[in-house]
Amino acid sequence: LHWVCALVPLQSCQCLAWKPHPVVSRGAESQHVVAGYSDGTIRVFSVSRTEMELKMHPHAVAVTAIAYSTDGEMILSGAKDGLVAVSSSHTGMTIRVLADHKGSPITVLQCTRKQYRDFGVEGGELWLATSSDRRVSIWASNWVKNTCELLDWLSFPAPAGPEGLGSLPPSLAAFCPWEPGTLVYVGFGMQKEALFYSLHKKQVVERVPLPYFATALSLSPAARFMAVGFSERLLRLLPCPAGAPQDYAGHDDAVHCCSFAPSGRRLLTASYSAVLLWELTRG
């Protein structure tokens, strides 16, 4: 994305998110990407026209996580100070600021369409925010009515940080595509594991052991597979539930990012100096 970097030469891009593809009857509409920067600004770019369309400044510090709402109408952004802002993707106006995670950097924001109506709250969308202090908040929202209600609040325990470790592994969470009402969490904790938490039962329903503390997480939208990256230069592909793990050592540094394609047939992973594209075969 050289054109993005050229347009913002003095700021560091901290996070990116693609706008959900609209459903159109004819033709394809221009695609958009939103980027969060180290000065607290957010910029929306048109990929087809290779130009910036909108700039907003909802944060006073670096933006550390960003996501579109499922309909693409709103942009959710999280910052280093723990504040989460909800802004219009059309006007750039910030309509809501949430301070529930204040004091701890936001590491993940994710939105999903509400699969069930038995949570006892209104709204057609669920979204989660994860902060580096191992807390996860889950919300139900109706952006048309400007409503946003806290559905659940999770806090995962951990021992004292080990001596000599410069920084703790990140706290990461994601909605589970094949188990509606369930999210997966990884982070520094009592054990090296991935936790499956049910929003319906209000408890952890499955624990998947890991060889190390995770540094990256992605769940396939098309199959029961989970990709987990580690600082030990290892990528693990896990069939769920309880399948035999497949380990791959193709990176030259810590795996800090992994992301399944919407088809679930490809996986992107990134380390300090390498981005790898994996083709997933059947069987």
Going by pLDDT thresholds of 50, 70 and 90, the confidence category of residue 243 is: confident
Contact between 79 and 106 (Cβ < 8 Å): yes
For 66, residues 6+ apart whose C-beta sits below 8 A from its C-beta are 15, 16, 17, 34, 35, 36, 42, 75, 76, 77, 78, 109
Lowest mean pLDDT, pick from 49-53, 116-120, 189-193: 116-120
Going by pLDDT thresholds of 50, 70 and 90, the confidence category of residue 35 is: confident
Q: The domain at 156-282 falls in which architecture? A: 7 Propeller (2.130)
The overall average pLDDT reported for the chain is 85
How big, in percent rounded to 5, are the helix, strand and coil portions of the chain? 0, 45, 50
My answer on whether omega of the bond before 209 falls inside 30° of 0, hence cis, is no
Residues facing residue 85 across a β-bridge: 77, 97
pLDDT in tens, 156-202: 988 876 654 557 889 999 999 998 889 999 999 999 999 999 999 99
Lowest mean pLDDT, pick from 104-118, 121-135, 161-175: 161-175
Contact between 190 and 179 (Cβ < 8 Å): no
* CA-to-CA dists, residue 56 to 123, 163, 245, 277, angstroms: 26, 40, 43, 32
The pLDDT of residue 250 is 78
Strand order in the sheet with 106-113: 106-113, 125-131, 135-142, 147-155
